Amino acid sequence: MNAIDTGSGALAKPDRFGRTVAEVYANGQLVQLQQVKDGMVWAYDRFKGNCPSWNEIERAFKETRSNRKGIFGGNPMPPWEWRQRNR
């Protein structure tokens, strides 16, 4: 299936497992990228092949971590590591 412009500021398409993958825009800005820049989320590279904006997100993530912004102000543990340790 091809990508679908939902008309609501999102570009959505199914991944190889049939899950909906979307890039969400608000006021012309990529929401996921802004969350990374604000230190609100981890950039999870496991599914980067599904993300057309991955290179830009990865650059922002590295800069955000090095500047210790948001959740990176301390010594955070990635969520996937926390889940593995707490099974």
**pLDDT-based confidence at residue 7 (cuts at 50, 70, 90):** low
Q: Give 70's contacts (C-beta < 8 A, 6+ positions apart).
A: 38, 39, 40, 64
What's the whole-model pTM score?
A: 0.77
Distances (CA, A) of 53 to 33, 85, 86: 8, 30, 32
User: What is the overall mean pLDDT for the chain?
Assistant: 86
- The residue ranges of every structural domain in the chain are 4-85
11 has a pLDDT exceeding 80: no
What burial letters (b/e) apply to 47-76, b meaning 16+ CB within 10 Å? eeebbeebeebeebbeebbeeeebeeeeee
* pLDDT surpassing 80 at residue 44: yes
